[in-house]
């Protein structure tokens, strides 16, 4: 089976014209300069567009190599897209193909802005409309339940260490994952945000307690976040740093809060997998990081249904409400988070 990278044409092998156009649209510059129309996009969005465009170029290179000498807009038409979709269907579901075509169209709009790509949008919508719909039924889970799982994992790791008389690597990983799940249940940072946490930078000590100070560059909406951490959770962080993290390979060589088994901080995919694995073992179904955010709404609706509108602030969503209302919602969201540790 081909790897994901083998399905893409490496950037260094792109036609010179494509490379020049791609680099030009992402070059920082005047916000009002049309040539820099892609500079505002988040790195993750840029990568998604690059992957889809590189996949199409791989298809052209493998099956219509002579077209690589033409301009980007001259090597894509309805017939080529029909053939491309036919090949994608051999290994992809219809929903994945829709996303691939959507990203391809967005990439083309950036590098070929003078061309009308509405026909590609129409095709993408038609495929999406006929794609099989599979209802996803996720068992209900609340932030409280997730938080208690995290606490259970940390307590179990401590008990195992006491029984064995030493901290094993497995116990260290169990404590780490438990602390991770508990903090996710409390503060709901996005995957990129939680991956970026560094000791002494985003995780800072304030007296006897710890706090999360997330700078704008580590959040999706580019707004800084500041969360005080309770005494109980601060104590658990101390135990992790002093007794468990030190037993993970290479933990003393970096300041990533979530030390991996590979002598470096955990990647976002490693964090994603760890949380899914622990929750599936505990609940019988996996809870991914995005569902932690849904769980917060579920928990809030149970504990305080009258003020459930405050969930938007806890989740870091934009608000256009008056200052008084905004601060009221913030107060409610902080209380909801703290209720889990009181």
Q: Write down the pTM of the prediction.
A: 0.55
Nearest to 230 by CA among 193, 185, 198, 282: 185
- Encode the chain (342 residues) as per-residue pLDDT tens digits: 345 567 899 999 999 999 999 998 887 755 445 556 677 788 888 899 999 999 999 999 999 999 999 999 999 999 999 999 999 999 988 989 999 999 999 999 999 999 999 999 999 999 988 887 765 666 778 888 899 999 999 999 999 999 999 999 999 999 999 999 999 888 877 788 889 999 999 999 988 999 988 888 877 667 787 888 889 999 999 999 999 999 999 999 999 999 999 999 999 999 999 999 999 999 999 998 878 876 665 544 444 344 434 444 444 544 434 332 333 333 344 334 444 443
Domains of the chain: 5-130 (no CATH), 143-338 (1.10.443.10)
3-state secondary structure of 1: coil
Task: Let me know: does 179 contact 236? Beta carbons within 8 Å.
Answer: yes
3-state secondary structure of 265: strand
Task: Let me know: does 97 contact 89? Beta carbons within 8 Å.
Answer: yes
Residue 204 per-residue DSSP state: E
């Amino acid at each position: 089976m081909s790897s994901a990278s083998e399905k893409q044409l490496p950037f260094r092998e792109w036609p010179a014209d494509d490379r020049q156009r791609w680099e030009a649209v992402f070059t920082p510059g005047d916000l009002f300069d049309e040539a820099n129309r892609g500079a505002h996009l988040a790195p993750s969005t840029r990568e998604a567009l690059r992957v889809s465009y590189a996949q199409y170029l791989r298809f052209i290179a493998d099956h219509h190599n002579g077209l690589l000498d033409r301009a980007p807009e001259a090597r894509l038409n309805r017939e080529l897209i029909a053939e491309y979709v036919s090949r994608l269907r051999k290994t992809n579901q219809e929903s994945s193909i829709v996303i691939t075509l959507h990203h391809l169209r967005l990439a083309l709009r950036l590098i070929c802005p003078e061309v009308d790509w509405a026909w590609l949008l129409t095709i993408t919508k038609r495929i999406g409309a006929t794609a099989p719909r599979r209802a996803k039924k996720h068992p209900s889970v609340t932030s409280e339940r997730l938080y208690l799982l995290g606490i259970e994992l940390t307590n179990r790791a401590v008990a195992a260490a006491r029984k064995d008389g030493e901290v094993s690597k497995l116990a260290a990983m169990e404590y780490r994952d438990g602390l991770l799940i508990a903090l996710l249940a409390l503060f709901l940072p996005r995957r990129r945000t939680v991956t970026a946490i560094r000791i002494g930078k985003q995780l800072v000590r304030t007296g006897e307690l710890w706090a999360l100070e997330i700078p704008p560059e580590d959040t999706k909406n580019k707004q800084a976040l500041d969360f005080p951490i309770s005494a109980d959770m601060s104590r658990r962080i101390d135990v992790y740093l002093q007794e468990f993290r030190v037993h993970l390979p290479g933990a003393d060589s970096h300041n990533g809060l979530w030390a991996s088994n590979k002598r470096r901080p955990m990647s976002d995919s490693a964090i994603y997998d760890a949380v899914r694995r622990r929750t599936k073992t505990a609940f019988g179904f996996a809870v991914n990081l995005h569902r932690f955010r849904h769980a917060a709404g579920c928990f809030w609706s149970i504990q305080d249904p009258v003020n459930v509108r405050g969930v938007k602030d806890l989740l870091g969503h934009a608000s256009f409400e008056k200052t008084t209302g905004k601060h009221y919602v913030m107060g409610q969201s902080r209380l909801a988070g703290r209720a889990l540790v009181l």
